[in-house]
Amino acid sequence: MNELPRTPSFRLDGKRALVTGAGRGIGAAMAAALAEVGAAVTLVARSETEIETLAEAIRAAGGTASAQVLDVSDLDAVGAFFASADPFDVLVNNAGTNRPMPMQDVSEADFDAVIDLNVKAAFFVAQACAKHLIKAGKPGSFIHIGSQMGHVGGLNRSLYCASKWAIEGMNKAFALDLARHQIRSNTICPTFIETPLTKPFFEDASFKASVLEKIKLGRIGQVEDLMGAVVFLASDASALMTGSSLVIDGGWTAE
């Protein structure tokens, strides 16, 4: 009898993972997912209370987690942090912000706030992580949290779209630069996900209806909808995948 091929492991035992913007919502879910499959996860955010609480919850559930207060838009602090840490096998570039408004209302301060965090900080966090992996001669997996808005346009979303389309291009170029070092780079592109940040928006019945009209599966996304994707991209199950995107949008961009 021929030996059957075996599914590559989704486990991350012995791997170190870093999740930015890990205090709540999508970032917290990503950290929990990676810890559940064996990674030692470092939670990064500006709010110490949130990440310490989450790290404690992960440890209580049998996982390994630590909290690191860090403003990823402070590039000197980012450099100092990576210089003092062992290399991370997995990076989840999740920290981000949004200022929805018509393009004609966007100020320079709005532009800088969104682009500096969503693009500039993500770029240099990935660069710092890559440098340390390359120096150590280790492979890795970078996962950038993009958006369906990095594949389409959206009303009042000019700034957000600009940042998330930039993430898509950045990701593909990262994949090419880092392939010879066996460091992979991919994006996860969610639709609207219910989080503490977005939940108030869905209290507007007309806004919620407009979103549900576009999500063909007929429901708002939950953070759990993204947890399998981050495990897949972080693990050997996606070993030949780089420079690509997992669009988790309930059919929004299919139309």
pTM, two decimal places: 0.96
Per-chain mean pLDDT for the chain: 97
Query: 191-234 pLDDT, tens per residue?
Result: 999 998 888 889 999 999 999 999 999 999 999 999 999 999 99
pLDDT tens, position by position, 5-14: 999 999 999 9
Of residues 218, 234, 187, 233, the one with CA closest to residue 90: 234
Give the pLDDT score at 240: 98
Of 82, 88, 160, 165, which residue is the catalytic one? 160
The predicted pLDDT at position 1 comes to 61
Confidence tier at 2 by pLDDT (50, 70, 90): confident
Class of domain 16-250: alpha beta
In the numeric block, which tokens belong to residue 113? 């706030």
Q: Is 160 in the active site?
A: yes
91 conformational bin, left if phi > 0, alpha if psi -120 to 50, beta if neither: beta
pLDDT of 245 > 90? The answer is yes
